[in-house]
Amino acid sequence: MLIVDDSAEVRDIVRTFLSRVNSGYTVCGEASDGLQAIKQAEVLKPDLILIDLRMPIMNGIEAATVVKRMLPKTQVVLFTNYTEDIGTALALKSGVDLVLAKGSLSDMAQALKTLTDHKLHPSNPAS
């Protein structure tokens, strides 16, 4: 997993929490803006990117769009305080796999597990 947030404190909290709850994810890298996220994704090729919406240089939706073109199998989760309907619709249209509200870390871990389980065991494998 690549964690992308302009707050080093948020990145640290998420990384620490996921390692403590045995989430099944290994953090392979971190980035503090969308441009760094793209560069890290290109090198690390993570299975999942947890990315903030509002960041300097390039926001999460812009970075997600580029990453999904480069690495279409990488899951991108937008992790944000701004989950209004228009932002969610734009994010999903940009290739983001899931939009999560920042808040409960245990809710985030459960949503990520559900997303991964769905990827590993799709409900309709013929499609």
**pLDDT per residue as tens digits for the range 69-108:** 999 999 998 887 766 654 666 666 777 888 887 776 777 7
pTM: 0.81
CATH T-level topology, domain 2-48+60-110: Rossmann fold (3.40.50)
- For the chain, which residues make up each domain, given as ranges? 2-48+60-110
How does pLDDT run across 110-126, given as a tens digit for each residue? 777 776 665 544 444 44
DSSP string, the chain: -EEE-S-HHHHHHHHHHHHHTT-S----EEESSHHHHHHHHHHH--SEEEE-SS-SSS-HHHHHHHHHHH-TTSEEEEEES---HHHHHHHHHTT-SEEEESS-HHHHHHHHHHHHHHHHS-S-TT-
